[in-house]
């Protein structure tokens, strides 16, 4: 039944205490340095447009000089770092979602991509990578035959 009381569990109580303490820490002490889980990074979107794979990464507040893009085999890697700007006066944060520190995102590329043809641009906090796709990796509509 959905409304049956649950048996007491010390582990559930410890987990609730940890969450409450983390919330208290975030509200009154300025939060943890990074809420970003290891291995995560900026929000990405990718799509195919006119025979090219376009990968866009949201990097607001990050200097493009602090971003490294590498293409190896079938992987495109975006690495960077968001530095926290420390000021003399203290701040009492009410809410904080901005993550500081290093990040890395890996995008799988189709086989046959020439890394020398990958172009990168940065505008208004968005990194845009354009990857020309080889002919064999383009989507082709397959007709269905009735038997």
pLDDT given at position 32: 47
Measured CA to CA, the distance from residue 40 to residue 133 in angstroms comes to 26
For position 99, what pLDDT does the model report? 73
| Whole-structure pTM value | 0.62
Phi, psi (degrees; rounded to nearest 5) at 137: -95, 0
The dihedrals phi and psi of 10, each to the nearest 5 degrees, come to: -65, -30
Output the pLDDT for position 34: 40
Quick one: fold of 36-86+98-137? Immunoglobulin-like (2.60.40)
Length of the chain: 147
How confident is the model over 106-123, as pLDDT tens digits? Answer: 999 888 888 999 999 999
> Taking the mean position of all CA atoms in its chain, how far away is CA 69?
14
- What is the pLDDT at residue 130? 96
CA distance 79 to 101: 11
In sequence order, what are the residues at sequence separation of 6 or more whose Cβ sits closer than 8 angstroms to the Cβ of residue 82? Answer: 61, 62, 66, 98, 99, 100, 101, 103
pLDDT given for residue 25 in this prediction? 58
Task: Please enumerate in sequence order all residues whose Cβ is within 8 A of that of 115, keeping only pairs 6 or more positions apart, or say none.
Answer: 71, 72
Question: Cα–Cα distance between 63 and 61 in angstroms, integer?
Answer: 7
Q: Which portions of the chain are predicted below pLDDT 70? A: 1-4, 6, 21-40, 85-91, 96, 137-139
pLDDT given at position 123: 95
């Amino acid at each position: 039944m959905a409304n049956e009381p649950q048996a007491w569990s010390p582990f559930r109580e410890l987990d609730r205490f940890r969450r409450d303490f983390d919330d208290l820490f975030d509200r009154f002490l300025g939060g943890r340095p990074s809420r970003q889980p290891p291995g995560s990074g900026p929000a990405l979107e990718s799509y195919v447009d006119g025979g090219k794979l376009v990968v866009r990464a949201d990097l607001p507040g990050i200097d493009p000089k602090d971003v490294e893009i590498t293409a190896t085999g079938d992987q495109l890697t975006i690495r960077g770092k968001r530095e926290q700007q420390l000021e003399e006066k203290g701040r009492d944060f009410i809410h904080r979602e901005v993550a500081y520190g290093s990040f890395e995102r890996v995008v799988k590329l189709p086989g046959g991509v020439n890394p020398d043809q990958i172009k990168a641009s940065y505008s208004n906090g968005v990194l845009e990578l354009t990857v020309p796709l080889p002919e064999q990796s383009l989507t082709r509509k397959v007709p269905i035959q009735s038997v």
